Amino acid sequence: MPKVIAVLGVGPGLGLSIARRFGREGFTTALVSRTDARHATYRTALAGITAPTYTADVTDDAQLRAVLARITAEAGEIDTVYFGPADAGTGITPLTEAGADALRVPFESIVLPAARLVEAVLPRMLERGSGSLLFAGGLSGKYPMPMLGSLAPASAALRMYVLTLHAALRETGVHAGMLTIGGLIERGDIHRMFTEQDHGFTVGTLDPDAIADKAWSQYVERDEAEAEFNAMAAV
């Protein structure tokens, strides 16, 4: 039976590239997003790959657990999960102006859902002695980037959570890996929105297929905690 990867927060950029890369290796790629508006387009883009689609808000614990249960029942036991953090929803507040609430929202939409995902899938992975947990996060979690203000603490927390998880799982057969990304991911929604407007400055772009290739290498080699992709000239 094919292995299953659950791609949580799939979009036309990195999420779709992750699905395509693992699908090329024979994985069933279960795609999860908040709406089904683009699911038909995703399935067409993944022609030849088994790619069932699901609708769920993965920042909601009940919906997250329900969709993971559906994937397991319909596609098979989940071998790998990829988590692309959700939009924090409230924009960016400069840290010099941010109160506790401005910092709390990104934690609730990025860090806590990642921990709930691990809570849901890790016990079975540990029982099997196999599995992989892959996460995408921002470069502001590694380097001070004042322009990302209130998002930076949550990015740093997610990064350290995954790196520590990687170390804790080292002898278990389960792998945790971080994709630390600085730049606009080509074909992604943020890239489209950014290029449609003149922001007065330039941000470098990244090829989602190259990032997905690295994610596959992390999965296969299982010894690398973090891969950095930096197209930010100032960092």
Alpha-carbon distance 98 to 96, whole Å? 6
pLDDT at 183: 79
Distance from CA of residue 92 to its chain's centroid? 20
Alpha-carbon distance 20 to 151, whole Å? 29
The most distant pair of C-alpha atoms in the chain lies apart, rounded to whole Å, by 53
| Local confidence band at 201 (pLDDT 50, 70, 90 cut-offs) | very low
Closest to 82 measured CA to CA, from 185, 176, 147, 222: 176
CATH tag for 4-230 (out of 1.10.3720.10, 3.90.550.10, 3.30.70.250, 3.40.50.720): 3.40.50.720
Q: Give pTM, 2 decimals.
A: 0.91
* pLDDT 10s digits, 151-161: 999 999 999 99
Alpha-carbon distance 132 to 126, whole Å? 10
Average pLDDT, the chain: 89
The residues spanned by each domain of the chain are: 4-230
Q: What is the arithmetic mean of pLDDT over 208-224?
A: 96
pLDDT at 88: 46
Q: Is the pLDDT of residue 202 over 60?
A: no
pLDDT above 70 coverage of the chain, percent: 89
Q: Is the pLDDT of residue 203 over 90?
A: no
